[in-house]
Amino acid sequence: MTKRVVVAMSGGVDSSVAAALMVEQGYDVVGIMMRLWAEDGDNARGHNRCCTPDQMDDARRIADMLGIPFYVLDTRDVFKGAIVQFFIDRYAAGDTPNPCLECNRHIRFEWLLNNALSLDADYLATGHYARIRQAEDGAFQLLKGLDDAKDQSYVLSVMGQAQLSKVMFPVGEYTKPQVRELAAKFGLPVASKHDSQDLCFLPDNNYRTFLRRHREQIAQPGPIMTRAGAVLGEHTGLVDYTIGQRKGLGVAAAEPLYVIGADPARNALIVGTADELGRDSLTATRVSWVSGAAPSEPIEAQVKIRYKAKPMPAMVTPLSATRVSVQFEDKLRDITAGQGAVFYAGEVCLGGGIIERPAI
């Protein structure tokens, strides 16, 4: 019997080529697009940037060209609750969250995957740049995409064995230029379409403006303080600052000062010297391991602390099934609470967790 694959379509070149490859390989293909939450009224255009009417039209047109059925799933409420509210709440708590990790954890590879399986699908395929390999012992491995510049394994590190056994990444074996060439070969009108950027639910790409609208206390002025408690000035709202920021603080000191943290309870921005900014360790929580089980002892790994960061050598020590400590060889200046710490062994993604806020 022909295997059925549901393809998550966005109207972009990657998911369109993924669908075309699945058709070419003989699968029974169904296209699905999620309609995600967007702000209403004067503050927004009324559409999430991942699913505007134009993008829906593009996805539907591609599906028609490929001769596959196409459906739009209303995901607005679940997306708002699991992703948008999470984003707002974590910023209010002093973190800098990565909503793409949460979207893959709760929406794409939970909610959408379950919907795909309810349509009697054998697999869900997406346009992510990553690869899945089954090892000799039958376990599934998550690998970086062949195009290192486009690799998305960082935001897929939340996936486990149950998800990887039911998911396919057709474009992960190609570079972006090759994907565009495939789109042209298939005659798809999106071959030269620009890539989407930034967070899909921000109408103007400005997360600070968005957060000011949705959580006023994040934008309230407060003290700029040292770790020792000395007040040096006043900030304009914690949302306006990022870890490592030096410019725009408006305080004078004997040596340059940088943002090293925040204390939401006091609405205080914490600043310090370059030496105070750098850290050579972190603790991560909500850790998930692709294999399904934490290592029984410390492991050497390369660790990414941001989506576009360079993997750095480190020792990862399990503290529990869902918590680890990470010790780097050198100090890093941009370890940021709320971001993902993702662990690699070469091209294999081992898993990852969320960086905890250190004591200030």
Has 200 been annotated as catalytic? yes
Question: If you write DSSP's letter for every residue of 18-54 in order, what string do you get?
Answer: HHHHHHHTT-EEEEEEEE-----GGGS-SS-TTS-HH
Residues 92 and 233 in one domain: no
Q: Are 329 and 89 in contact (CB under 8 A)?
A: no
Residues 228 and 117 in one domain: no
Residue 219: the pLDDT is: 84
Q: Is residue 155 part of a domain?
A: no
Residue 49: the pLDDT is: 60
With bands split at pLDDT 50, 70 and 90, how would you rate the model's confidence at 46? low
Residue 266: the pLDDT is: 93
Q: Is residue 82 part of a domain?
A: yes
- Give the mean pLDDT of 53-64: 91
Please tell me the least confidently modeled range out of 116-120, 172-176, 177-181, 355-359.
355-359
Q: Are 151 and 32 in contact (CB under 8 A)?
A: no
- Give the mean pLDDT of 59-75: 96
Residues 264 and 290 in one domain: no
pLDDT > 70 in the chain, percent: 95
Instruction: Single out the residue in 233, 248, 276 at which a domain terminates.
Output: 276
Q: Is residue 240 part of a domain?
A: yes
Per residue in 82-92, pLDDT tens? 999 999 999 88
Residues 67 and 180 in one domain: yes
CATH number assigned to the domain comprising residue 175: 3.40.50.620
- Give the mean pLDDT of 73-84: 93
pLDDT > 90 in the chain, percent: 76
Strand partners, 281: 327
Residues 333 and 239 in one domain: no
Q: Is residue 224 part of a domain?
A: yes
Residues 59 and 120 in one domain: yes
Q: In the predicted model, is pLDDT for residue 360 greater than 80?
A: no
Using CA atoms, how far apart are residues 62 and 72, in angstroms rounded to an integer? Answer: 14
Residue 250: the pLDDT is: 86
Residue 51: the pLDDT is: 65
> Mean pLDDT in the chain?
92
Which residues constitute the domain of residue 314? 278-355
Catalytic hit among 50, 51, 100, 200: 200
Residue 179: the pLDDT is: 97
CATH number assigned to the domain comprising residue 247: 2.30.30.280
Residue 94: the pLDDT is: 86
Q: Among candidates 309, 295, 298, which has minimal Cα distance to 342? A: 309
CATH number assigned to the domain comprising residue 304: 2.40.30.10
Q: Is residue 150 part of a domain?
A: no
Per residue in 224-266, pLDDT tens? 999 999 999 999 999 899 899 998 898 888 889 999 999 999 9
Residues 181 and 262 in one domain: no
Q: In the predicted model, is pLDDT for residue 112 greater than 50?
A: yes
Residues 177 and 247 in one domain: no
Q: In the predicted model, is pLDDT for residue 205 greater than 80?
A: no
360 vs 106, higher pLDDT? 106
Q: CA-based diameter of the chain, in Å? A: 74
Residue 163: the pLDDT is: 97
**Predicted TM-score (pTM) of this structure:** 0.92
Residues 298 and 347 in one domain: yes
Residues 98 and 232 in one domain: no
Residue 42: the pLDDT is: 46
Residue 54: the pLDDT is: 84
Per residue in 167-199, pLDDT tens? 999 999 999 999 999 999 999 999 887 877 667
Q: Are 152 and 128 in contact (CB under 8 A)?
A: yes
With bands split at pLDDT 50, 70 and 90, how would you rate the model's confidence at 62? very high
Instruction: Single out the residue in 232, 250, 276 at which a domain terminates.
Output: 276
Count of domains for the chain: 3
Instruction: Single out the residue in 141, 158, 185 at which a domain terminates.
Output: 185
Contacts of 171 (CB under 8 A, 6+ apart): 14, 17, 18, 21, 127, 128, 129, 145, 179
Helix 53-66 to helix 13-24 angle, to the nearest 10 degrees?
20
With bands split at pLDDT 50, 70 and 90, how would you rate the model's confidence at 200? confident
Q: Is residue 309 part of a domain?
A: yes
Residues 179 and 288 in one domain: no
198 vs 331, higher pLDDT? 331
- Give the mean pLDDT of 190-217: 80
- Read off the tokens for 266: 């006091």
Per residue in 138-151, pLDDT tens? 999 999 999 999 99
Per residue in 150-161, pLDDT tens? 999 999 999 999
Has 103 been annotated as catalytic? yes
Q: Is residue 258 part of a domain?
A: yes
Q: Is residue 321 part of a domain?
A: yes
Residues 228 and 339 in one domain: no
